[in-house]
Structure 1
Amino acid sequence: MADAALRLTTVAEELLGFPLPVRVRAWDGSESGPPGAPVLVVRHRRALRRLLWRPGELGLARAWVAGEIDVEGDLYAALDLLSGIIWEREEDLAPAVHPVRDPRLRTAARALLRIGGALPPPPPPPEEVRRRSGPLHTRRRDRQAISHHYDVGNGFYEQVLGPSMVYSCAYWSDGGTLEEAQRDKLDLVCRKLALQQGDRLLDVGCGWGSLAMHAAREYGAQVTGITLSREQAAYARKRIAEAGLTDRIEIRVQDYRDVRDGPYDAIASIGMAEHVGQVRYLEYAEQLLTLLRPGGRLLNHQIARRPERNEADYRLDPFIDRYVFPDGELAPLGRTVATLELAGFEVRDVESIREHYALTLRRWVANLEADWRRAVRHSSPGRARVWRLYMAACALAFEHSKIGVNQVLAVRTPHSGDSGLPLRARDWR
């Protein structure tokens, strides 16, 4: 095939109705598109067959993970230029799978068939989670989802996250490092919870133990951390033992629904509620309420999406659902606050730190790219490609306010009405 790149850009531009904003390089070495723009490299025509059978985001994601397409140049610039195309609602280009009414789509499908060939679709890359069935957010299904995301090798996360081993949004100041920003976030959480010597803290979704260690070491708290990831738990216990904090911290492999040893003085849920799901969220909030003493505080740190008119579906987009966070869900901030209050909490403070997550993600991507071979050695080529695309795309989503992240401080206010907060509550600053 001669000049495949020109044929591809012609098909894309006829379908879109405007010039393709990136340059295309095809498997035959041909190039087409605006000079100086980021280059979308189509390494194999299999990528086109993936798009024919699964048009839109999932087809592109499979080609990316398999290494059949790539970006040469600034990944963020390329994703920014393509975001209006890639992340749009999926349109069907495969008449054999679903009927297509738009004649432009039929024309594009025929052209892609001629360029890419009409062979059956390639199997999905092995990193993809198979389509699940049955009820969402059962204990078994949640364990499987958490294992897919977190049990990919602690060495991989050490490289991406850095020494802090904190896998949530950092709290930045001008000129600070990632480690300083993560330390400041952990300290902000502890101060919002007003932790004191001897307080019992429940860390729900404790990850690799970083918040538990900070709360025990700096505030003298007695911490119980729970996670569904056995690899995280083993890593956290080792860190805690090396730091001499085993008398202050207990790490359990345990579902939040099975915690029975309240009351706690404070509960932290940092980047965990996205895994709970709307079908379980009220149950989750009610469970945390019962585990708090009257006057105890909850700090819920959670990613949120923009509200939509149709609020029936909170599921993440197909790429993230299949490759990153199986069964993950993002709710609007208002729904989260309303559910916490419905459960019996009094919400006292909400802080949006959206821009902080964009900065955090860019640092994680830089850590991943700094030693690509090591990242592949600790996981797989496909897994490393998944994380690079996922984190870069999410950084742009935060920067463009497509999604946000918020810290919600809530109290189990006693019957007396005394919340325990000072009149000027934000003295934690």
Structure 2
Amino acid sequence: MSSKFKSFITDLLRQADITVGGDRPWDIQVHDDRLYSRVMTQGSLGLGEAYMDGWWDAESVDQFLYHVLTADLPSKVRIDPALALLTIKAIVFNPQRARAREVGEKHYDIGNDLYQRMLDPRMIYSCGYWREADNLTDAQEAKLDLICRKIGLKEGQTVLDIGSGWGGFLKFAAERYGIKGVGVTVSREQMRYANDTRGNLPIETRLMDYMELDGKFDRIVSVGMFEHVGYKNYAPYFAKVRELLKDDGLFLLHTIGGALSRRSGDPWIEKYVFPNGMLPSPKQVTTAVEGKLIMEDWHNFGADYDKTLIAWLDNFDKAWPDLQEKYGERFGRMWRYYLQCCAAIFRARWIHLWQIVYSKDGVKGGYESIR
């Protein structure tokens, strides 16, 4: 059976212009022939874990995966029990609410030293805006300023950041636009870092669930957090935003999204990177927000995430000699696979990055789209 698996997968890879043992950056080097049966029986989970275990390599993993995706090979290997199990769990249970803090503990709390070395100086862990930028720092500042301009920030306004990370957006908005702000996160390490580095700015970060918030805000943003909400919770999420937003306020949602409606995430990403994560589709978003908020603008710049992820990978590789002893070699392979896998998916335009601007009941006179 294993020889049949090898023959089948080798032929599939050939259809994607990938040669086993070839010398191009996207060609795969197989170190353990058990890889073939592992992929056939475990799908994407098996492919990722086999890479972590050193069963295969490629000079450029992102190029290898890009070829796999653009040739639509995943649809030709349909056996993926891990994905089926995740989907069943998502339908029966509501893991995003039942285990809301799990992603904070397992991903964002693993070590600020890792993120400080991988990210830009403002510690922004979301897609940069590369329209006029040629480096990560400028791309992230351009993205932050784009958000501020889209929601028309003015001095003295109150801003809520749902899923505020290490506090980078609120610090930028307070420094450049003179706002007052509150951020919420489920990561203890993010909360500590954000509050320890805010200086005298009128902002604070709280360790709390967004559904526990109260008050009214002039502007609300949520950058890279909606991917953790879960499809069963989209409608309550938007209802909460409406409750917290002033009548003339604006809300900007910055999220990764997919073209097709799904109920769970990728099994490998779910297990090793973002527990309980899933990407919304346009249909899921618009259905959930109906009757709650008015969509004023929808901007897709998902191709910029490819550049952002490769910049993070470059920073990670440069920092790895200093981080290796603490995190271990298997973690290093896992993290590189995560960054390159995501870069390939964005490059293939299988997933997207959206910034959606909402008002409560429609902007009087109309909203002017800003790019």
TM-score if structure 2 supplies the norm length?
Answer: 0.87
Which ranges in structure 2 are unaligned for 5 or more consecutive residues? 82-88
- The equivalent of 2:68 in structure 1 is 82
> Aligned equivalents of 2:13 and 2:241: distance in 1?
52
1:88–1:154 distance in 2 versus 1, CA, 3 Å:
farther
Cα-to-partner distance string for 1:302-355 (whole Å, 9 max, x where unaligned)? 111012xxx4x321111111111111111212331332233x211111111111
Q: In the alignment, is the contact (CA less than 8 A) between 1:159 and 1:375 conserved in 2?
A: no
Aligned residue identity for 1:42: V
Structure (1 or 2) with the greater helix fraction: 2
> Aligned equivalents of 2:198 and 2:346: distance in 1?
33
Q: 1:55 is paired with a residue of what secondary structure?
A: helix
- The equivalent of 1:70 in structure 2 is 57
Cα-to-partner distance string for 1:351-374 (whole Å, 9 max, x where unaligned)? 111111121112111212223323
- The equivalent of 2:194 in structure 1 is 236
Question: Which structure is higher in RCO with an 8 Å CA cutoff and minimum separation 6?
Answer: 2
The offset of 1:10, in angstroms, is 7.6
The offset of 1:37, in angstroms, is 6.1
TM-score if structure 1 supplies the norm length?
Answer: 0.76
1:181–1:253 distance in 2 versus 1, CA, 3 Å:
same
**Where in structure 2 are the equivalents of 1:13-412 lying within 5 Å?**
13-14=7-8, 17=11, 20=14, 21-24=17-20, 33-34=21-22, 36=24, 38-44=26-32, 47=35, 50-51=38-39, 54-71=41-58, 73-83=59-69, 84=71, 87-88=74-75, 90-92=77-79, 135-137=93-95, 139-241=97-199, 244-245=200-201, 248-260=202-214, 262-307=215-260, 311=261, 313-342=262-291, 344-412=292-360
> Aligned equivalents of 1:169 and 1:141: distance in 2?
25
Larger Rg: 1
Equivalent pairs counted in the alignment come to: 361
Q: In the alignment, is the contact (CA less than 8 A) between 2:66 and 2:348 conserved in 1?
A: no
> Aligned equivalents of 1:133 and 1:379: distance in 2?
35
The offset of 1:210, in angstroms, is 0.3
> Aligned equivalents of 1:38 and 1:154: distance in 2?
32
Aligned residue identity for 1:205: G
> Aligned equivalents of 2:161 and 2:307: distance in 1?
25
1:139–1:367 distance in 2 versus 1, CA, 3 Å:
same
- The equivalent of 2:86 in structure 1 is none
The offset of 1:34, in angstroms, is 4.2
> Aligned equivalents of 1:318 and 1:366: distance in 2?
25
Q: In the alignment, is the contact (CA less than 8 A) between 1:153 and 1:378 conserved in 2?
A: no
Moved over 6 A (4+): 7-10, 131-134
The offset of 1:42, in angstroms, is 3.5
Q: In the alignment, is the contact (CA less than 8 A) between 2:13 and 2:68 conserved in 1?
A: no
Cα-to-partner distance string for 1:174-200 (whole Å, 9 max, x where unaligned)? 452110110011111111111111111
> Aligned equivalents of 2:207 and 2:80: distance in 1?
45
Q: 1:410 is paired with a residue of what secondary structure?
A: strand
The offset of 1:38, in angstroms, is 4.2
The CA RMSD over aligned residues, in Å, is: 2.8
1:8–1:34 distance in 2 versus 1, CA, 3 Å:
farther
> Aligned equivalents of 2:312 and 2:247: distance in 1?
39
The offset of 1:16, in angstroms, is 5.9
> Aligned equivalents of 2:133 and 2:207: distance in 1?
37
Cα-to-partner distance string for 1:396-415 (whole Å, 9 max, x where unaligned)? 222221111111000112xx
* Identity across matched positions, percent: 31
Q: 2:349 is paired with a residue of what secondary structure?
A: coil
Cα-to-partner distance string for 1:273-301 (whole Å, 9 max, x where unaligned)? 11000111100110111001101110001
